[in-house]
Amino acid sequence: MPNFMEWATHGIKRGRFEMDHCMVMRVGAVVVTVTLLAALYLALVSQTAARGRHIQQLQAELSRLQRDSEQLEVDIARAGSISSLRERALALGLGAAEEVVFLPLTAP
């Protein structure tokens, strides 16, 4: 491998670059700007992720509450169903009225 590299680069004159001060300043400015932009981007992304996670948690909580609410409503409806009420009424010794009389209300 060293022989190959030597063979490939033999006779190539290495160039010399002189550092231009102005050029260094410009490159430095670009690097700083890019770094700032990257930091801003990272901050935004992390904030977005945090909010996304919070929304996920809220959605999960909402679903859980909705499930509990639906379950409670079914339980209440079962407890107050016609058949349950009839059973409880019979257990209390209540029965259907044998005769119903409507009484007229006269205005005073």
Query: Which positions lie near other proteins, rule CB under 8 A?
Result: 7-8, 10-12, 45, 48-53, 55-56, 59-60, 62-63, 66-68, 70-71, 73-74, 76-78, 80-83, 97, 100-104
Shortest distance (Å) from residue 101 CB to other proteins? 5
Residue number with CB closer to other proteins (35 or 81): 81
Where do the DSSP E strands lie in 1-108? none
Dig out the tokens for 6 from the structure: 């030597």
Q: How far is the CB of 97 from other proteins (least distance, A)?
A: 8
Which of residues 27 and 38 has its CB atom nearest to other proteins in the complex?
Answer: 38
Structure tokens at 107: 């205005």
Angle subtended at Cα 104 by Cα 98 and Cα 108, rounded to the nearest 5 degrees: 145
Q: How far is the CB of 64 from other proteins (least distance, A)?
A: 9
Q: Phi and psi (nearest 5°) for 62?
A: -60, -45
Least Cβ distance, residue 77 to other proteins (angstroms): 4
Q: On the CB side of 3, how many CA atoms lie within 13 Å of its CA?
A: 0
* Interatomic CA distance for residues 17 and 23, integer angstroms: 12
